Chains A and B, each alone.
Chain A
Amino acid sequence: MKNKYSEPNSDGFFGSYGGKFVPETLMEALDELEKCYEDIKSDSEFQKKIDKDLADFVGRPSPLYFAERLTEHFKGPNIWLKREDLNHTGAHKINNTIGQILLAKMMGKTRIIAETGAGQHGVATATVAARLGLECHIYMGAEDVQRQSLNVYRIKLLGAHVHPVESGTATLKDALNEAIRDWVTNVDNTYYIIGSVTGPHPYPMIVRDFNAIVGRELIHQSQASFQSLPDAIIACVGGGSNAIGIFHPFIDEDVRLIGVEAAGQGIDTGKHAAPLNDGEPGILHGAKSYLMQDSDGQIMATSSISAGLDYPGVGPEHSFLKDSGRAEYIAVDDESVMKAFHQLSELEGIIPALETAHAFAPLDLISSEFNEDQNIVINVSGRGDKDIASVAKLEGIDLE
């Protein structure tokens, strides 16, 4: 019998990826977090609390929906959608913040910080912080503050403070840098809710585990809907939290796992955000993983139509799954993403987030690899409300 998948190891490595590469001041905080997380993992009271919040506040389980017209259109496998876009706050991000805020509370922390790219994680963090009455600070690249102004306002409405980050490329990676600096400075009373499966151990594991509810639900839902496991699961990958959340419970099963990165203006142009397709292993933000870096080890600027995928790194577990061959990672460019965005809106009445639209863009190519009685599931990681203004602008439409 095959060994059950059990990454990461006790030092926080997925194979050779991951680890804890942070300034010394944070090492103790990471150890404390790890111990606390191990305690609650086996605490049935805590788990009940999370389950109740996920049901009553988030609205889980999210439906598994048969996309009939999309299926007809591609004339390939049955296409099913896991509707994370229907969660409270409009994306999968809340699955993680619900869990981490309870951890923070248990650890006695009174101040919450987070980074955000598209703003979805910022909204999801501000939401749970408001609910528990905790002070909340969100770091966001100045460029993202511009292109995701709706989410910035939502975060403010929820009572949190937004700090635009001007340093470096003024996008998600710089927001992460600034959040880490805040954490180093305020480590005694502050809990850092990382929004993806990135950063130092134990974050990639914690964020994965909280998001894995998506994959666990899918096991039951696919049995109920088509009496077997899916033949393939497709999800977009920036840091990779929605992808790992839906992949993880299937790693030991015979299911194709396909992650879709942002090829931006095209892999050949170098202007993209696809480290698994066109990067090399290195160390950034506390972990070893595939990165977009130059020959001197400097982190490169990225390009993607979607703020949430505009990140030069990727969660270490994805690097491991890539090297081991267990998951496949492809990349789609901005143009094909826009096409998929419109297609899903028009064929199914679902306007996806631009990040999410990446998971639909490869259907053109991939659907021919399946036959008509097979079933594939796409993770609809978030809804597109936040992107309406920027899509209109891209297409030259004046909404004012």
Chain B
Amino acid sequence: MNRIEKQLVENKNNNIKSLVAYLVAGDPNMDDTLSLMHGFVDAGVDVIEVGVPFSDPIAEGPIIQSAHDRSLANKTSFEGIIDLISNFRKKNTNTPIVLMGYLNSFLKNQKAFSRFDDIGIDGVLIVDAPGEYSLKDLGISNANVVSISLVSPTTTKERTKKICNASSGFIYYVTLKGVTGSSNVDLEEIKSNVIDLQKNTDLPVMAGFGIKNKEQAESISKVADGVVIGSYLVESIFQAKKTTDYKKIYNYLSEIKSVINK
């Protein structure tokens, strides 16, 4: 069984809410990304989403856009990200890893895609791939890699069904109409939408886009199977002056993990 499926099913059975954490590979550099990933796991993160930087990230707000730009200025390549995951797997063979990025990056690296499971990549979340398409429809298939799709507040019931059918791993519920890191989350609307979504799927539902603080995370995890934290972490990593400042980020993640399981 795929690590994502295993971990999330296990959490669901034990009534544990999952914490998904996002960072951009190569920001500020690959060594830091690697140590941050291990730090995330020690802080209680259940799934790591590794952002694949793209020149034209249309779904990202200013925080993650800038991180993509910084990473590309550091010459981050797809091959470099593969090495990052291989290095991570030397010490950690359990934590699920999802690559999150844009379709053109994956299409251009189809060869690597067929080796994803060997390398230790468990799933992909392709922001600009239509959710009703399977990976095979997109021409990038790997039977052992799950395809995570987004469902948004504007997704119709009909599409929700199609997307749930084509997805595996978990469903990522986009908590707002907007780009990543926006601030207009409406907790009550999110909850009722997540409950509707759960009627269409047995897959765990993770909610993200714009979740920053403990109150939001706690409230949303009352209904969702977990939360995704992205922009807040990316900004904190950017603000850290030295690697010892990462400790604050790990403390924050531990607190989130504990409030969602209160």
Contact A184 B108 (CB under 8 A): no
The answer to whether the Cβ of A296 comes within 8 Å of any Cβ in the partner chain is yes
The answer to whether the Cβ of A213 comes within 8 Å of any Cβ in the partner chain is no
Question: Contact flags (1/0) for B141-162 with A, using CB distance below 8 Å?
Answer: 0000000011111111001000
Contact B105 A21 (CB under 8 A): no
Q: A168-B56, A296-B77 are in contact. Are A25 and B107 (CB under 8 A)?
A: no
Assembly CA distance A187 to B177 (angstroms): 7
- Which of B127-135, B187-195, B249-257 contacts the other chain? B127-135
Of the candidates A27, A185, A297, the one whose C-beta lies within 8 Å of that of B130 is: A27
Q: A185-B182, A283-B107, A285-B58 are in contact. Are A25 and B174 (CB under 8 A)?
A: yes
Contact B155 A181 (CB under 8 A): no
Assembly CA distance A28 to B155 (angstroms): 6
Q: Which residue of the partner chain B has the closest CB to A25? A: B152
Contact B178 A21 (CB under 8 A): no
Contact A295 B55 (CB under 8 A): no
Interface members, chain B 106-151 (any A CB < 8 Å) = 106-109, 127-131, 149-151
The answer to whether the Cβ of A325 comes within 8 Å of any Cβ in the partner chain is no
Choose among B59, B78, B159 the residue with the greatest number of A CB atoms under 10 Å from its CB.
B59
The answer to whether the Cβ of B16 comes within 8 Å of any Cβ in the partner chain is no
Q: A296-B77, A297-B105, A297-B107 are in contact. Are A23 and B69 (CB under 8 A)?
A: no
Assembly CA distance A28 to B130 (angstroms): 11
Q: How many residues of A contact B (CB 8 A)?
A: 36
Q: A23-B59, A24-B149 are in contact. Are A286 and B177 (CB under 8 A)?
A: no
Q: What residues of A have a CB within 8 angstroms of the CB of B177 in the complex?
A: 25, 184-188
The answer to whether the Cβ of A293 comes within 8 Å of any Cβ in the partner chain is yes
The answer to whether the Cβ of A167 comes within 8 Å of any Cβ in the partner chain is yes
Q: What residues of B have a CB within 8 angstroms of the CB of A25 in the complex?
A: 152-154, 174, 177-178
Assembly CA distance A297 to B107 (angstroms): 8
Q: Chain A nearest CB: distance from B110 CB in Å?
A: 10
Q: A21-B129, A184-B178 are in contact. List 7 more A-B contacts (CB 8 A).
A: A23-B59, A28-B156, A168-B69, A174-B56, A181-B179, A184-B59, A285-B58
29 sampled A-B residue pairs with Cβ under 8 A: A20-B130, A22-B128, A23-B128, A24-B131, A24-B150, A24-B154, A24-B163, A25-B153, A26-B154, A27-B131, A31-B156, A168-B56, A168-B69, A173-B56, A177-B58, A180-B58, A184-B59, A184-B178, A185-B179, A185-B182, A188-B177, A282-B108, A283-B104, A283-B128, A284-B56, A286-B128, A291-B104, A298-B55, A299-B55
Chain A: residues with CB nearer than 8 A to chain B?
19-29, 31, 167-168, 173-174, 177, 180-181, 184-188, 282-286, 291, 293, 295-299
Chain B: residues with CB nearer than 8 A to chain A?
54-61, 65, 69, 72, 77-78, 102-109, 127-131, 149-156, 159, 163, 174, 177-179, 182
